[in-house]
Chains A and B, each alone.
Chain A
Amino acid sequence: MSLSAKYGKKRIAAGFALLGSVGLAIGGLSVDRSAQAAAPAPASSPAPGSPAPGSPAAPAAPLLQTNPFHSGESGFVVTEIRYALGPDGKEACPAGMSGGMRSLMEAYAKSPAGQRLPDEADRAYQGRMQRALNNTPDGKNICMNPQLGAEDPTWRMVSGRNIKVEGIDLDGVDPRTGKRQQADTCTHEEFQGTAGERGVDNQLFRMIGCTTGFQASGMGNGWQTEMYTGSWGIVMSVRGVDNTQNDPDVQVGIYANADPLQLSADRRALPFATYAVDQDAHYRAETHGRIVNGVLTIDPIDVRFHNFVNSMNEDRVLRAARLRLTFTADGGMEGYLAGYTPVEDMYDVQFGARKSRDAKGQLAPERLRIGTSVGRAGALGYTCNGAYRALLQAADGHRDPATGRCTSISTQYRIRLAPAFVVKVPTKSLNAPLAVR
């Protein structure tokens, strides 16, 4: 069968995008000399209401050497993803950094109960301290039950003034409709964006920005490592693009990747690889979007991805997710994926592994979940009870009408995408017959 026949008679060539008979837009890249004059906005494009790219105030845009779209379609794979953050240290945290488990242990060691007993071995003493600090008096693990833990007096929220923080405005007024983009939010202080724009909603940064593990070089932002081991990934499709600079209506798909990232010998993600979307509809989201002055944005939509830590997986959820992406010279995109993560989900995916599942989808062994949670808290410099309370305090989205409290927290991801081919095909594993039934 010819490619053109198989993929819906769309012309393909080296690097041309096509539409699969298997059902979905896929992407690619072709040399398009006419596109060289088309300059997309830079990644730091201002949010709605700020100077538009191309205006005198906008910075110079990179030359788009390649046009990812052919027949109005293209696919992309996320190759970099991390939390969008603000500045480190005192600039963001004039009141100091959160104390975390270390300060708790130091305080406990000075208390009468924390004194080392006569003839108590090192290991026994350490174990007694761990139990005392990680468990409630009746023996329940605090990371598994953070609501039972006491307030963490050493927790610090970001309180720096006039700091510039990565992200986009999630609840501002949409100039197209004149309505707030997210109505059911709670009062919160907004940040200034990296380009000076106002209204950046990034309460996750406010909550974690004074934690050592989430500083720019901290380990807390290293979770994309498992994306490079092939444990999870994200792909996108963009269809119906008539003009890569301005198009009022395009279709955007955001999916969990069912395939591992294809890597070069030095473990860089390769462009133009083919990826299948996740078979589970929960991990597929499709919405409308638009391109304005080279910036792709979408109507908000709930998305869900996989996350993988210590052989356990859980869902990384984003409600009312939005994109703000610009096209890059290599045919990819970069910018922000942002939205609201339910507080309980954010706690589970990033702090206490209360609901993490094993490979069979069953609740993972408690010992593994507790070990992961306690270890992560110690390594990243927070307490589980402190994180949980901070999440509730910083929550700014999806206000519960009954309680008046917000249930989700604005979460911003900084992402880069490479051109790819995205297909919908059955993704049965070669190892499926070996799976334990």
Chain B
Amino acid sequence: MMKHISKFRFGTVCAGLALALAGGISLAQQSAEPAKAAVVEPAPAGGPLVMRRLTESQYRATIADVFAPDVPIAGRFERGLREEGLIAVGTSHGGMSAFSIEQYDTSARGIAADVTSEKRRAQFVPCQPKSATVFDKACATAFIDKYGPQLFRRPLARDEQARFVEVARLAQQRLGGFYQGLEYTLIGMLDSPHFLLRIERAERDPQHAGQQRLDAWSKATRLSYFLTNSAPDTELLRAAGQGELDTDQGMARQVDRLIASPRVEGAVRSFFWDMLYFDGFSDLFKDPTIYPAYTVAAARDAQEQTLKTIVAHLVTDRGDYRELFTTRTSYLTRPLGIIYRVPVAERNGWEKVEFPVDSQRSGILTDLSTLALHSHPGRSSPTLRGKSVREVFMCAKVPDPPANVNFTALDAVSKPNSTARTRLAEHNENPVCAGCHKLTDPIGFTLESFDGAGIFRAKENGVDLDLSGSLDGVKFTGAPGLGKALHDNPSVPMCLTNKLYRSAVGRDVATTEEPFLEYLTASFAQNGFRVIDLMRTIALSKTFYSVTMPESKPVGPAGQTASAAPKGDHS
């Protein structure tokens, strides 16, 4: 899989540069000036074809949509590979370990056993065998024809279909039952790379001589996982099969249909779960003697709280993305109520709340999820919090600390009359440390009214907290000030555009796509920073489906090129 270096990529801020930028504008802001009214899509440039592994959430959503939500998935999933800040990009980078293949097989066996079980076969198998002993080829073929295209997200080639039918026949012969035959052929489909990997294929673009574009099935797949985080449904596959995705009108009809469906929520959730590094919750630890209220239930609900807030604001209310940093509306459960010190009358579910103006709660940066995720097990961290703001929301890269840093001053958390600010000041007497800290800490200090478990505090070690801080030269106080500064910072929507597009295509931005990103950013602003509108703009663009593969050789019918050799045909 190719990797292009993009000029549009946001800055990596090293210590030396940080010193130079200490009082001024970040590299991110310097290198990413907002586009000027470029609201017309530039000529499609596109990027390379990719082969992407399904994420856990995509695997689960696909099985739920193809079969049913209650079909069990027994295998464990490897932690996603995060590249350039996104697991979505990592899906096109990493390989599959023997362990993960074994776990995929465990899941496949459980799914197939359930689908073909006596209890559920009437629900899933489209026909009944004519004989209990003689293999019913027609019925097996019907089963394969029903699920093969949904799982592989394209029609099966004739020899593929024949091979799966033969597997069913042989399995029945050896195991004695027709449904056991179906079970084994379904295991084969679910273990196939054509299911586990989204293998993109290109074809010649008839409208642009010398250029390539995704074929209809790859378009449908890219579109579906972008807008629903799941496999193309039967209507989208039908439209692909009938060439409707190659027309502006046909594509717009499908895009609008998917955006109007409740499944778009799954896509928004999945993207922000990835962008916010929520995979980090799987190994996030808090010292229970210091933070007893940070329970397993609170940690679980913390992620959902933020995602619920995001979905409600961006999807349900079609709100301005930037208001995610200033909104005082949120959702709480009882375990979260303990952290937020707010009553939650609802016993077993979620309650919509609005924090008071003077509560210091302001947007998702003051959610337990982000506060706890970017803190230490036993203390808060202005540095980690500031770093996460820079990297997650502004697409800047703050380097990791040097290996020989002395953390003694920072670890003295109980030092009388000390605060994180005073401890960091002592730590930053080392100029090697000071450079990066000047970029992170002025952001993080403003969140110090929340401890390492997100609980409000007015003092630390008996000392009133100084919540003053700054971001790219803008000075403010406290979390609401930070939220306002982020709301007004042009890097923030630009970064979101960048990440959303990279998540959609599963790779870094190609150099040739930079004008397209400028167009997206301008369009995003023009549409009131509504993320759903941005998703629609991407989904309707030509660039999203265009391919640049100058070195590609046609290997399939009608000049098709695949992102992988067609060995899957023999898988």
Binding site for B on A (CB under 8 A): 1-7, 11-16, 18, 20, 22, 26, 28-29, 31, 259, 262-266, 268, 270-274, 276, 421, 423, 425, 427, 430
Q: Which residues of A contact B293 (CB under 8 A)?
A: 264, 270, 272
* Residue of A16, A31, A274 touching B334 (CB-CB under 8 A): A274
Q: Which residues of B contact A7 (CB under 8 A)?
A: 343
| Proximity bits, B345-384, A CB within 8 Å = 1, else 0 | 1111000111110111100000000000000000000000
Question: Shortest beta-carbon distance, A37 to chain B, in Å?
Answer: 15
Assess A265 versus B347: contact at CB under 8 Å? Given A3-B355, A4-B354, A31-B458. Answer: no
Smallest CB-CB A-B distances: 6 pairs: A264-B292, A421-B343, A14-B456, A2-B354, A15-B341, A265-B288
CB-nearest residue of chain A to B329 = A2
Q: Are B343 and A20 in contact (CB under 8 A)?
A: yes
CB-nearest residue of chain A to B351 = A6
Q: Which residues of A contact B341 (CB under 8 A)?
A: 14-16, 28-29, 272
Assess A270 versus B347: contact at CB under 8 Å? Given A3-B353, A265-B288. Answer: no
Q: Interface size on B (CB < 8 Å)?
A: 33
* C-alpha gap A263/B296 in the complex (Å): 11
Question: Shortest beta-carbon distance, B411 to chain A, in Å?
Answer: 23
Q: Are A272 and B337 in contact (CB under 8 A)?
A: yes
Q: Are A14 and B345 in contact (CB under 8 A)?
A: no
- Contacts A272-B341, A421-B337, A425-B345 aside, 12 further interface pairs with beta carbons under 8 A come to A2-B353, A3-B354, A14-B455, A15-B341, A15-B456, A20-B345, A264-B288, A264-B292, A270-B292, A274-B343, A421-B343, A423-B345
Please list 9 pairs of residues, one from A and one from B, whose beta carbons are closer than 8 Å in the complex, sorted by A's number: A2-B354, A3-B356, A12-B355, A12-B359, A13-B358, A264-B293, A265-B296, A421-B344, A430-B348
Question: Any chain A CB within 8 A of the CB of B432?
Answer: no
* C-alpha gap A11/B355 in the complex (Å): 10
Q: Which residues of A contact B358 (CB under 8 A)?
A: 13
Question: Any chain A CB within 8 A of the CB of B295?
Answer: yes
Q: Are B338 and A270 in contact (CB under 8 A)?
A: yes
Q: Which residues of B contact A427 (CB under 8 A)?
A: 347
Q: Which residues of B contact A276 (CB under 8 A)?
A: 345, 347
- Among B302-343, those with CB < 8 Å from A are 334-335, 337-338, 340-343
Question: Shortest beta-carbon distance, A9 to chain B, in Å?
Answer: 11
Q: Are B338 and A12 in contact (CB under 8 A)?
A: no
* C-alpha gap A175/B337 in the complex (Å): 42
- Overall SS of chain B's interface: loop
Q: Are A259 and B347 in contact (CB under 8 A)?
A: yes
Q: Are A268 and B356 in contact (CB under 8 A)?
A: no
Assess A12 versus B334: contact at CB under 8 Å? Given A264-B295, A425-B347. Answer: no
Q: Which residues of B contact A265 (CB under 8 A)?
A: 288, 292, 295-296
Binding site for A on B (CB under 8 A): 288-289, 292-293, 295-296, 334-335, 337-338, 340-348, 352-356, 358-361, 455-459
* Residue of A4, A5, A13, A423 touching B343 (CB-CB under 8 A): A423
Q: Which residues of A contact B344 (CB under 8 A)?
A: 274, 421
Q: Which residues of A contact B356 (CB under 8 A)?
A: 3-4, 11-13, 16
Question: Shortest beta-carbon distance, B458 to chain A, in Å?
Answer: 5
Q: Are B347 and A262 in contact (CB under 8 A)?
A: no
Question: Shortest beta-carbon distance, B454 to chain A, in Å?
Answer: 10
* C-alpha gap A3/B359 in the complex (Å): 12
* Residue of A2, A13, A29, A274 touching B337 (CB-CB under 8 A): A274
Question: Shortest beta-carbon distance, A265 to chain B, in Å?
Answer: 4
Q: Are B337 and A268 in contact (CB under 8 A)?
A: no
Q: Are A272 and B345 in contact (CB under 8 A)?
A: no
Question: Shortest beta-carbon distance, B339 to chain A, in Å?
Answer: 8
Q: Are A14 and B342 in contact (CB under 8 A)?
A: yes
Q: Are B352 and A12 in contact (CB under 8 A)?
A: no
CB-nearest residue of chain A to B358 = A13
Q: Which residues of A contact B360 (CB under 8 A)?
A: 14
CB-nearest residue of chain A to B289 = A266
* C-alpha gap A26/B344 in the complex (Å): 10
Assess A13 versus B359: contact at CB under 8 Å? Given A22-B345, A276-B345. Answer: yes
CB-nearest residue of chain B to A421 = B343
Q: Are B354 and A26 in contact (CB under 8 A)?
A: no
Q: Which residues of B contact A13 (CB under 8 A)?
A: 355-356, 358-359, 456
Q: Which residues of B contact A26 (CB under 8 A)?
A: 343
Highest count of chain B CB atoms <10 Å: which of A6, A29, A427: A6
